Amino acid sequence: VVGGTPTTTQQEPWVVALSSRSRFGADRSGQFCGGVAVGPRTVVTAAHCFGEEALGVDDWHQLPDLRVIADRTDLSGDSGEELQLSQVWVNPDFDQTTNANDIAVVTLADDLPSGASIPLAQSSDTADYQAGTPAEVYGWGDTTGNGDYPTTLHTASVDILADSDCEHAYPGGSVGTYQPASMVCAGVDGGGRDACQGDSGGPLVVAGRLVGLVSWGNGCALAGYPGVYTRVSAMADLVAEHM
Ligand code: 4AZ
C-alpha cells in the first residue's frame, strides 16, 4: 500500500496473508499476496495469486509450505496462526489478458481464529459503489512502488471512482482492460494513495463490507491511473457456492 499508515490485525482480523517461505523467503513469513476471511474456513483472494507467474509452479499443490496466515500484523513475528489449504477454486472465467473475474476461493483445513470474517457487499448495496464513497485498502505490499516491502500491515483511504475514470485509463492495453461488470475503480485525484505489488487479493472495504479485492493497475499511486479491484458483489453467488 502506497501512501498509507501501519495498522493492526486486532482491528481488522479478516485481513490474511498468503505465504510460502520456500518460494518467497522467510523474512516476512513468506508473504506474497493478501486475502480476506469471509467465513470460518473460507478465504477469498485474487485468481492471479494462484497463477504460474505468481507461484512459479503450475499447481499450488507443488508448494507444500503454502499457508494462510491469520492474526499476524507484523510478519517478522510469529503471532497468530498458519493454516493449511484444503481446496482452492480459481474462477475459470479469470481472463489473463483483461484481468476480468480475478477471484479465487480458498477452503482451509482448519477454522480461522474466531471473529475473523467480513461480509461481502451484495449487488443491492449500490451506495457502496457510488463514485466519491470512501474506502480502505489493506496489505503488506510495496509502500513506494520501488520494491519496499513493510513487515507490518498498511492501510490507505481511497475513493470509489466512476467506471468512466478507469475506462479512460485502461481502454485496453498490456496491463489490462477495465470491465465495469467485474471490476471496481478506486484511487485519489492526483494519485499518491493506492494498492501496489504484493497487495493483490487483499481487501477494499466500504462501511464494514468487502467491496473489492486488489487486482491490478498501471504502476502504483500514479496520477491518472487508479487501482482496479475485483467487483465482489458481482461474484457473491460464486463465492457462496464454493464455501
Ligand atoms: C500488482 O502487481 C499490482 N496499483 C497490484 C495492484 C496495483 C498495481 C499492481 C494497483 O500486484
User: What are the tens digits of pLDDT across the range 188-243?
Assistant: 999 999 999 999 999 999 999 999 999 999 999 999 999 999 999 999 999 999 98
| Burial of 81 (C-beta count, 10 Å sphere; 0-12/13-18/19+) | middle
Substitution site in 45, 214, 229 for ligand 1 pocket (most atoms within 8 Å of beta carbon): 214
Mean pLDDT of the chain: 97
- Residue 173 pLDDT > 90: no
Substitution site in 24, 200, 204 for ligand 1 pocket (most atoms within 8 Å of beta carbon): 200
Distance 198 CA to ligand 1 centre (A): 7
Query: Is the sign of the CA dihedral 61, 65, 19, 175 positive or negative?
Result: negative
The identity of residue 33, as a single letter, is: C
CA dihedral (50, 194, 133, 38) in degrees, to 10, reads: 30
Provide the β-strand partners of residue 82. 69
Backbone angles phi, psi at 17, to 5 degrees: -115, 145
Distance 27 CA to ligand 1 centre (A): 21
Task: Give 91's pLDDT tier (boundaries 50, 70, 90).
Answer: very high
- Answer whether 169 contacts ligand 1 (Cβ < 6 A): no
- Answer whether 151 contacts ligand 1 (Cβ < 6 A): no
Distance 201 CA to ligand 1 centre (A): 10
User: What is d(CA 45, CA 36) in angstroms, rounded to the nearest whole number?
Assistant: 6
- Select from 114, 134, 108, 122 the least CA-distant residue to 44: 108
Helix (H, G, I), strand (E, B) or coil at 11: coil
Query: CA angle at residue 215 from 147 to 191, to 5 degrees?
Result: 60
N-to-C CA span, the chain: 28
Q: What is the pTM of this model?
A: 0.98
User: What is d(CA 136, CA 156) in angstroms, rounded to the nearest whole number?
Assistant: 6
pLDDT at 113: 87
Query: Is the sign of the CA dihedral 225, 230, 232, 234 positive or negative?
Result: positive
Residue the block writes with cell 485509463: 169
**Which range, of 102-116, 126-140, 152-166, averages the lowest pLDDT?**
102-116
In contact, 149 and 143? CB cutoff 8 Å: yes
User: What is d(CA 95, CA 107) in angstroms, rounded to the nearest whole number?
Assistant: 22
The identity of residue 73, as a single letter, is: T
In contact, 183 and 167? CB cutoff 8 Å: no
In contact, 32 and 46? CB cutoff 8 Å: no
Distance 194 CA to ligand 1 centre (A): 9
Backbone angles phi, psi at 73, to 5 degrees: -60, -45
Query: CA angle at residue 21 from 101 to 243, to 5 degrees?
Result: 35
Average pLDDT over residues 9-33: 95
Average pLDDT over residues 105-131: 95
Task: Give 114's pLDDT tier (boundaries 50, 70, 90).
Answer: confident
**Closest Cα to atom 4, ligand 1: which residue?**
220
ipTM of the complex: 0.97
- Residue 115 pLDDT > 80: no
In contact, 17 and 36? CB cutoff 8 Å: no
pLDDT tens digits, one per residue of 26-84 = 999 999 999 999 999 999 999 999 999 999 999 999 999 999 999 999 999 999 999 99
